[in-house]
Structure 1
């Protein structure tokens, strides 16, 4: 039997991104903006889930909208957000006074932040409307390099979970790029969609597989060893796909959320890849994440001022086994 859906309401704050802690199964963070991110301030909500619901653990305000959030991989109290004023904020849940550091080198909105996962390094990557991706050392609070190449807004930057110093970016120029930080250049450029790409994510079990989601309403799964055509194209959304995320428990399963108010679950290895569709929001769904600790538990956030935690029936029916 599927668990009961839990809901947290963030009055006058519209959800842009949500992520569950890599340390605690019950802790999550949501980056939000006032006035749909067009104007006003932003709030970072740090939340705790229990068997009966979701409670507020801590909230942090910033003077511009917050568009993305990432947890530290080596300190359970630390998070990083990206803001509309071009800055990144480093927060400590044990320190309610404000950000530990503010990193400001981007000249336009920071739309994506991600903390490296390989444990070999401690790095944050950010993507911005200024067409650059920047790699930061959060412990020394400085930018290590600025990477240029995209000809449009960078909407998504995600570290490889397998290869140190390697991240992917998705852009309004319709390309997916894979970057080598040491070389300071993109080693792969994939013309992935004939539309703006708003999100990308790496497969957790295969270092060569990436998924992209775009304004053309399609998801495309790519094998970086042969990029002439996608491994799979997933169709079903009726508006732009805002975020995509691979399951940490099953190699070919992924989630997508969209401006069509839905969250969809897919298994790209199947002839009929759409596993299920949930329409439990009344506005754009902008953030989605899988719980690393609880198989098939999902969290999402939307412009309807809610965060929801649940186990989709279509995933609950799957075996939990990993490849």
Structure 2
């Protein structure tokens, strides 16, 4: 493994998350906030990662855009190569195309995640501290669906990469929920279905503490990873869901990945390997794991620890197997190769 990452720093702005472009191999978007996101403005950075002499990309900031409040997440459009959407601390969502071209203000608290469907490419989702998950079409002035997903803060919501109408969310209430967007909601105790959707097809009691992050496996349908305050990344087999039937409670925990010293803020499966995932943690490390270690080998493959503050974001390159980017509150973006 190459232990010397390519690095770029954005003084004064702590990073909250990053995303590689699905259209360009060398473009990264960074969502950042002044004063660690507690108060003040935000900034959207667009970074180029051009091939370098040591096998790692050379990083440079192409441009950046100021926002009135901190940015917590960013997602690239799956339709237009230069468009992306951001999640803001003031409850707003903005669509960018060199400039902000559209804004929505329906959430009543901070928007903490955005995710663009890679199957239903005209749809993206947002999740908020107000407990709601909303679905959006970038051409429409209002949301197209609202899920009253949790009774507390929803840290992340993500579309399944295998089935366009499945969406998973995680919350401070310690659960992971999977919603079937095609179905009306089954109301427990009434033996009837209601509209709009308020009940999940599957609820996983994933932890006794807050669940901060989740991700769908890119090769194994109905397999999810989750992690949070309990410092453990857990792998869930959700094949027990029977869509269209009464809500299920459960989920089988296939494995647990232990080693982080503080809360795990981000988990992401590799887009190239079914058994490899990365985690980012408040212990200032980004770690790479395998869920299928060779006999006698450990699940932990590598610890990336050049960061000097909380590591809150990580993302695999969509085109180059083994390239991972990490970002944190030290204002640094690191790119390194397994």
Quickly name the TM-score band, shorter chain normalised. Answer: over 0.9
Match of 1:210 among 213, 224, 228: 224
Q: In the alignment, is residue 234 of structure 1 matched against residue 263 of structure 2? A: no
> Which residue does 1:276 correspond to in 2?
302
State the 1:49 CA deviation.
1.1
State the 1:4 CA deviation.
5.1
> Which residue does 2:186 correspond to in 1?
none
> Which residue does 1:289 correspond to in 2?
315
State the 1:145 CA deviation.
1.1
> Which residue does 1:56 correspond to in 2?
61
> Any conservation in 1 of the 2:134–2:147 contact (CA below 8 Å)?
yes
Change (3 A) 1:228 1:298: closer
Residue correspondence of structure 1 range 15-164 to structure 2 within 5 A: 15-52=15-52, 53-93=58-98, 98-118=99-119, 120-164=120-164
Deviations 1:189-211 (A, max 9, x none): 11011110000000000111000
> Which residue does 1:220 correspond to in 2?
234
SS of residue matched to 1:36: helix
Match of 2:266 among 212, 237, 243: 243
Deviations 1:61-120 (A, max 9, x none): 110000000000111100000000001010013xxxx310011100000000000011x4
Q: Which runs of 5+ in 2 are unaligned?
A: 53-57, 184-196, 241-249
Q: In the alignment, is residue 196 of structure 1 matched against residue 210 of structure 2? A: yes
State the 1:229 CA deviation.
3.7
Q: After TM superposition, what 4+ stretches of structure 1 lie above 6 angstroms from structure 2?
A: none
> Which residue does 2:276 correspond to in 1?
253
SS of residue matched to 1:151: coil
State the 1:60 CA deviation.
1.1
Query: TM-score normalized by structure 1?
Result: 0.92
Change (3 A) 1:310 1:141: farther
Larger displacement relative to structure 2 (188-197 or 264-273): 264-273
For these two proteins, the number of residue pairs brought into alignment is 307
SS of residue matched to 2:35: helix
State the 1:11 CA deviation.
1.1
State the 1:149 CA deviation.
3.5
Deviations 1:11-63 (A, max 9, x none): 10000001110111100000000000000000000110123421111211110
> Any conservation in 1 of the 2:237–2:251 contact (CA below 8 Å)?
no
Change (3 A) 1:141 1:48: farther
Larger displacement relative to structure 2 (21-30 or 182-191): 182-191
Q: Which has the larger radius of gyration?
A: 2
Distance 2:324 2:181 in 1: 31
Distance 1:292 1:197 in 2: 25
> Any conservation in 1 of the 2:238–2:252 contact (CA below 8 Å)?
no
Change (3 A) 1:22 1:121: closer
Query: TM-score normalized by structure 2?
Result: 0.88
Distance 1:311 1:222 in 2: 27
Distance 1:212 1:65 in 2: 25
Q: Which runs of 5+ in 1 are unaligned?
A: 313-323
